[in-house]
Amino acid sequence: MRRPKKPYQGARPGGGRCRDWAHSFATGSRSARGKMTKTLRKSLRKFAIAIPLLALGFYFIPILTTIFIVCGLIDVLRNDRKDLALFSGYFLGNGLFTWLLSPFNLLVDLLCYRNPGVWKLEQFPEDYQREVNEVLDIFRARKDEIIADIDANFGVGRRGMYVYQWYGKHRIDNVAEFNKDFKYIKTIAVSVFSKRESTSWHFGPLRLSLRILYNLVPVKAEIFVECGNVKNYWYDNPQFIFDDTLLHRSVNEYDGRRYCVFMDIIRPSPFPRLIAGMLAIVSVSVERINSMFYKNWKMIGSTKPKKVETT
Position 289 pLDDT exceeds 70? no
pLDDT band at 286 (very low <50, low <70, confident <90, very high): low
> For the purposes of burial, counting CB atoms within 10 Å of the CB of 124, is it exposed (0-12), middle (13-18) or buried (19 or more)?
buried
Torsion of Cα atoms, 175 then 179 then 184 then 186, to 10°: 80
What is the phi/psi pair of residue 191, to 5°? -95, 130
CA distances from 120 to 124, 131, 212, 242 (A): 8, 15, 10, 9
Position 211 pLDDT exceeds 80? yes
Residue type, 45: R
R_g of the chain, CA atoms, integer Å: 25
Give the mean model confidence (pLDDT) for residues 67-84.
96
| Chain mean pLDDT for the chain | 86
Q: Which is it for strands 258-266 and 118-119: parallel, antiparallel or unpaired?
A: unpaired
Tens-digit pLDDT profile for residues 212-261: 999 999 999 999 999 999 999 999 999 999 999 999 999 999 999 999 99
CA distances from 103 to 66, 133, 207, 292 (A): 11, 33, 11, 21
Give the mean model confidence (pLDDT) for residues 51-66.
88
Q: Which residue has the higher pLDDT, 231 or 288?
A: 231
The answer to whether 219 touches 193, Cβ cutoff 8 Å, is: no
pLDDT band at 5 (very low <50, low <70, confident <90, very high): low
pLDDT band at 54 (very low <50, low <70, confident <90, very high): confident
Q: For residues 33 and 40, what is the distance between their CA atoms, to the nearest angstrom?
A: 10
30-34, 76-80, 172-176, 245-249: the lowest-pLDDT one: 30-34
Tens-digit pLDDT profile for residues 81-128: 999 899 999 999 999 999 999 999 999 999 999 999 999 999 999 999
The answer to whether 307 touches 175, Cβ cutoff 8 Å, is: yes
Give the mean model confidence (pLDDT) for residues 50-65.
87
Q: Which is it for strands 239-242 and 248-253: parallel, antiparallel or unpaired?
A: unpaired
Give the mean model confidence (pLDDT) for residues 74-82.
97
E strand intervals along 87-177: 118-119, 159-166, 169-170
